[in-house]
Amino acid sequence: MNHKKIAHNRTKILVVDDSAPTLEVIQRNLEAAGYEVFTAPSVELAIAFLEQNSVDLVITDIKMPKISGLELLKYVKENVKETEIMIITGYPSIKGAVEAVKDGAENYLVKPFTDEELLSVVSKMLEKLANRHAVKAKPLSGSHNIIGNSPGMQHVYRLIGKAAATSVNVLLLGESGTGKELVARAIHYSSKTVSGPFVTVNCTAIPDSLLESELFGHVKGAFTGAQASRAGFFQIADGGTLFLDEIGDASLSMQGKLLRAIQNKEIFMVGSSRVQKIDTRIIAATNTDLNRLVKKGLFREDLYYRLNIVEITLPPLHERGEDILLLVQLFKEKLSRDMNRPAPQFSDKVLQIFKNYHWQGNVRELENLIQRLVVLADGNFIDVTDLPEQMRFSINWRRGLNRPLAEVEAEHIANVLNSVKGNKTRAAEILGIDRKTLREKIRRANQPTDIG
């Protein structure tokens, strides 16, 4: 057993395999990527280590002498709640992989695998762990651990509670960046499917040629290149939740295959005539109007009604003004912890602009902006001049709502010219007009024209 002292500021991974060369290669690759790695040649030693230490991820072989890796999976699932599990095996079988996933494994790799494959899977699993922590973090709302106290979000919380109390399918609607996957995870972790896996499928990312194989899996020899059996998304999510993101962009071919699986609760693996029963809850999400797509013949009406048992619409961020300050504070505190430095203060004018801004990218755009402002801040105070030009000049702090248009326009032009030190070419670019039009507007506003 590798008993290096655990570091507290790096991701910790335990690798379990009875093959010393395999342990050495995996440890070397993971340490080179910056992870803190511990190794155990048997399940007994791994359990003894986990009784005294905590790790973020366990990577284990299945077939080992005395006690198999499946027993370690069961131990981790029952005793180490906040740890991800990945299996590796040189004896691939669909039955073994699905059994391992049901027992708590989040993913699996078949030997031999490349260094890139290993690091890619590890990175994705740790990202899922971080997302799971985010779902469970700091319940400012007092309900379902999602940030927000606005009336729109209170309604969302009530619907999450109703959806979590059942196993029916759910359809999430909302603009990009409003947090649809976060809501899907909240439903999953608040319902009886919490002990099962949460599997995300991006419906736009699967080409039609791979649809059946990706969704339902395939048996060895099913097609050229199928050198081993492989589980599909429905099998991996069996007993848990399958999150179908961007369902509005799914092809008609994919819609038909999804409908049959959801309606009959059974699938056929590619290359197999044996039916497999599935118990998978479906949560679908889209930022498009499915009713409109149904009327245009671009989305199957029967699938729409299968998915839309409970419908939850997430409000855009610009309709959640009182939540914006909560989110700003949350993102600031997170960055402060990550960067190990005090979070800067935001001026009242900046916060007012945030509350009035349209936020086309919603919460995702707000988080991105806070990250950028905090990272680039020269001091401990962020003012209007630190904001992106587009934000500074698209709002003008809403002061012009009850003033003549010509007056508002003249003041706006003056502000832009001052900000670029009188450079008319740059001012025209920001205003979205040409220099000739700008000169004419300046003349009409009786502003001096000898600038720049």
393/326 same-domain check: yes
Is 426 within a domain? yes
Is 121 within a domain? yes
284/377 same-domain check: no
- HSE, CB side, 13 Å, CA atoms: give it for residue 178: 24
Residue 125 vs residue 245, higher pLDDT: 245
pLDDT exceeds 90 at position 306: yes
Is 71 within a domain? yes
Is 341 within a domain? yes
pLDDT exceeds 60 at position 398: no
278/364 same-domain check: no
When divided into structural domains, the chain yields a total of 3
231/110 same-domain check: no
Q: What is the mean pLDDT of residues 174-185?
A: 93
Model pLDDT, residue 400: 46
Q: Which of 106, 132, 158 marks a domain boundary?
A: 132
Q: Please state, rounded to an integer, the average pLDDT across all residues of the chain.
A: 82
144/286 same-domain check: yes
Is 32 within a domain? yes
Tell me if 313 sits within 8 A of 174, measured CB to CB: yes
Percent of the chain with pLDDT over 90: 35
CA nearest neighbour of 56 among 82, 79, 28: 82
107/164 same-domain check: no
Could you tell me which residues are beta bridge partners of residue 313?
173
225/328 same-domain check: no
Q: What is the mean pLDDT of residues 175-202?
A: 91
Model pLDDT, residue 442: 85
73/217 same-domain check: no
Could you tell me which residues are beta bridge partners of residue 85?
58
Is 449 within a domain? no
Confidence of residue 43 (pLDDT cuts 50, 70, 90): very high
Handedness of CA 359, 129, 218, 167 (dihedral sign): negative
Cβ neighbour number for residue 201 with a 10 Å cutoff: 24
389/336 same-domain check: yes
pLDDT digits (tens, 9 = 90+) for 324-361: 988 998 898 888 888 888 888 898 888 888 988 889 89
φ/ψ (deg, to 5) at 28: -60, -45
Tell me if 427 sits within 8 A of 449, measured CB to CB: no
104/144 same-domain check: no
Cβ neighbour number for residue 57 with a 10 Å cutoff: 21
pLDDT exceeds 70 at position 267: yes
CATH number for the domain spanning 66: value is 3.40.50.2300
256/124 same-domain check: no
Confidence of residue 264 (pLDDT cuts 50, 70, 90): very high
What value, to the nearest 5°, has the Cα angle with vertex 21 and ends 15 and 26?
40
pLDDT exceeds 80 at position 38: yes
Highest mean pLDDT among 132-141, 284-293, 318-327: 284-293
Confidence of residue 403 (pLDDT cuts 50, 70, 90): low
CA nearest neighbour of 137 among 178, 186, 77, 177: 186
CATH number for the domain spanning 324: value is 1.10.8.60
Confidence of residue 14 (pLDDT cuts 50, 70, 90): very high
CA nearest neighbour of 356 among 405, 321, 401, 403: 321
CATH number for the domain spanning 205: value is 3.40.50.300
Model pLDDT, residue 141: 38
Could you tell me the residue range of the domain that residue 288 belongs to?
139-315
pLDDT digits (tens, 9 = 90+) for 271-281: 888 888 999 99
Q: Which of 294, 315, 336 marks a domain boundary?
A: 315
pLDDT exceeds 70 at position 181: yes
Model pLDDT, residue 134: 47
Q: Which of 257, 283, 315 marks a domain boundary?
A: 315
Q: What is the mean pLDDT of residues 17-43?
A: 90
Question: 177: exposed, middle or buried (C-beta count within 10 Å: 0-12, 13-18, 19+)?
Answer: buried
